[in-house]
Amino acid sequence: EAQVTQNPRYLITVTGKKLTVTCSQNMNHEYMSWYRQDPGLGLRQIYYSMNVEVTDKGDVPEGYKVSRKEKRNFPLILESPSPNQTSLYFCASSPPGVNTGELFFGEGSRLTVL
Amino acid sequence: GQSLEQPSEVTAVEGAIVQINCTYQTSGFYGLSWYQQHDGGAPTFLSYNALDGLEETGRFSSFLSRSDSYGYLLLQELQMKDSASYFCAVRDGRGFQKLVFGTGTRLLVSP
């Protein structure tokens, strides 16, 4: 089954404790992206990647890191989480091509930083 | 800057037709997408318009006018299961696949 898989789905952590949210897709998509969703603010892009070893900042990259060593994986790293990073996080991927507006989303990871 | 504006909430009854508007201001434009998100779920793709006009997919249609920086999602024969949030999203010019989302419209369908 074609899917984007995120882990963990739920996480409660404390300020400053490094964590990684993993994202994996099995559709051989070149493009992957991370979004955070907060009430009233919609989905805001954190980082995106056009292909292996190619990443770029989105609109809200501060406090986050990403890596793209393999095509299928795009982990989101919070080196020193803070309470303002409490949010619902979505990973998404998309096939290549100029005429596609479709993103395939993972089920989301709800992160609480105390 | 870049912004997308949508109504925050729309209500309708089963069987009715509802239109959700989206106006955008972005540095570039490569197409307008629509996504549906049920509470607690992931956004799912509904439609994409790269050119002006109407795209129809079953009960849902999407319209785009690039000269007006405007689009809408039209939902016909509303069903209770259509109660969800709907987001418009624009691919802007700063990155080929950089997608900017609106803040979403919550649709409540009542019996």
So what's the pLDDT on residue B106?
A: 97
**Nearest residue in chain B measured CA to CA from A95:** B97
So what's the pLDDT on residue B2?
A: 75
pLDDT tens for residues A53-106? 999 999 899 999 999 999 999 999 999 999 999 999 999 998 876 566 789 999
Structure tokens at A28: 């051989």
Does A50 sit within 8 Å of B45, measured CB to CB?
A: no
So what's the pLDDT on residue A24?
A: 98
A56 in contact with chain B, both atoms CB, cutoff 8 A: yes
So what's the pLDDT on residue B28?
A: 79
Phi/psi class of residue B93: alpha, beta or left (left: φ > 0; alpha: ψ in -120 to 50)?
A: alpha
Residue the block writes with tokens 């969703």: A37
Asked if the model's pLDDT at residue A1 lies above 90, the reply is no
Closest CA to B95 of B2, B30, B46: B30
The residues near A35 (Cβ < 8 Å, ≥ 6 apart) are A43, A44, A45, A46, A58, A89, A90, A91, A92, B101
pLDDT, average across residues A30-42: 92
Identify the DSSP state of A85. G
Asked if the model's pLDDT at residue A47 lies above 90, the reply is yes
What residues in chain B have per-residue pLDDT under 70? 1, 93-97
What span, in angstroms and rounded, lies between the C-alpha atoms of A58 and B9? Answer: 27
Residue A35: list chain B partners with CB under 8 A: 101
So what's the pLDDT on residue B96?
A: 59
Does A45 sit within 8 Å of B100, measured CB to CB?
A: yes
Considering only CB atoms, B42 lies closest to which of A94, A101, A107, namely A107
Find the helix or strand (DSSP H, E) in which A112 lies. strand A109-113
Does A40 sit within 8 Å of B96, measured CB to CB?
A: no
